[in-house]
Amino acid sequence: MHVTEGIKPYFKLAAALGVGAMILDTWLSGRFGWSISLDMAAIFGLISIASGLLLVIAAYFWRTGHQAVGKILAAAWLPIFAFNVMSNMGVATSNRMSDVQKASVQQAKHDGAQDSVKEAATNLKLWQTQLQKLKTDNAWVASVTADSLRSQLAEKQAAADREARRGGCGRICESIKAEVVSLQARIGAVEQRDDLSKRIEATQRLVDNNRAKLASTDAGISAAMNQSTFFGKMMSASLYASPSMEDIQAANEGMGVFTALVLAIASLVLTYVGAYPALLDAVRDYKWRRDEPVSALAPRRTEDDKPASTHLVPAPTMGFVPPAPHRPDYTVRGTTIADLRALAGRA
């Protein structure tokens, strides 16, 4: 395989992305180790670096003829890669779960504030409805006060007492008592109006305060929570029903595991792809330097026969290309020793 000049920038970009993915991978594992101790952070970080590089080194030894070393390094890479993925899972899943839990608590606070507003608004509407009905049934209630009616009530009661002392409670006394009862009913209606007005005023202040509190309360919107909720709906096979917290938790942990695995694989694959042209050069040099058995009749190779670097193969042009010089080939192809002996006997 030859690496042309046109494709070289893509391999360089893959190498740069591989370094970036390896740094992020190391940072993620180091954070998980840091939650245990500083020593574990360093150990986990080194394991992440080894996870991204060791397979490239194993491929180098394998391709340059050291298959035993390559197999040993590849076998050592497997548990290192698995450990790196698991350490990444520790951070990815814990971070997502922490974000989801914080969002759940904040959403509960927001829902509580919203419920307080709804409850106060419901009470406010109830008091307003009662006051409006009271005014509709008693049009006069809006134009009098309880104190004025109480003074009238006192006068009527005094008049009733005077009539009773004069000669018993006759027709006039009964009429006055009926007016007393009417005044008492009016006073009750006015007091109810005043009570409802006070309740409306207090409830209105409560609604305003709750709305202000709701406006300043974070709604607990979380990208991880929304993503986990969506995958929870997919797990429950219903995009309309709200998923259970168990489904959300399972989806969240699954995404954490998937994130850790993708990051570790990206670090490995991009690093390998970036190193692939160098591996080709290593294979070319190895094949050139090793001693290969050749026919005694074949001409020996010289430095001029050495292939160019895989990084410097030019793209084909449309101009004139001179023919390659003829090199005689004295090897006998497709002929066995028995055939040669038969030809010699005929001669």
Distance CA 59, CA 77 (A): 11
pLDDT at 297: 42
Output 116 or 288, whichever has higher pLDDT: 116
Does position 330 have pLDDT exceeding 60, yes or no?
A: no
Instruction: Share the mean pLDDT of the chain.
Output: 75
Residue 25 token pair: 């991978």
pLDDT for res 240 = 63
Residues with Cβ within 8 Å of residue 127, at least 6 apart in sequence: 196, 199, 200, 203
Give yes or no for residue 9 having a pLDDT over 70: yes
For residues 275 and 17, what is the distance between their CA atoms, to the nearest angstrom? Answer: 12
- Confidence grade of residue 294 (pLDDT, cut at 50, 70, 90): very low
pLDDT tens-digit readout, 32-46: 778 788 888 888 888
pLDDT at 195 over 70: yes
Most confident of 3-7, 67-71, 224-228, 316-320: 67-71
The residue-averaged pLDDT of 290-318 equals 48
The residue with greater pLDDT, 8 or 243, is 8
Q: CA-based angle 96:97:100, to the nearest 5? A: 85
Confidence of residue 12 (pLDDT cuts 50, 70, 90): confident
Q: Which two tokens stand for residue 342?
A: 């038969």
Nearest to 48 by CA among 90, 93, 94, 88: 88
Please give the DSSP secondary-structure letter assigned to residue 326. Answer: P
In the chain, what percentage of residues exceed pLDDT 70? 71
Residue with tokens 């330097």: 289
At residue 311, does pLDDT exceed 50?
A: no
| Average pLDDT estimate for 90-99 | 71
Condensed to tens digits (0 to 9), the pLDDT of residues 103-112 reads 777 777 778 8
End-to-end CA distance of the chain: 46
CA–CA gap between residue 112 and residue 136 (Å, rounded): 36
Location of structure tokens 């001179």: 322
What's the whole-model pTM score? 0.48
The pLDDT value given to residue 295: 43
Q: What is the mean pLDDT of residues 241-267?
A: 77
- 208-220: average pLDDT: 78
Q: What is the pLDDT of residue 224?
A: 65
pLDDT exceeds cutoff 50 at 157? yes
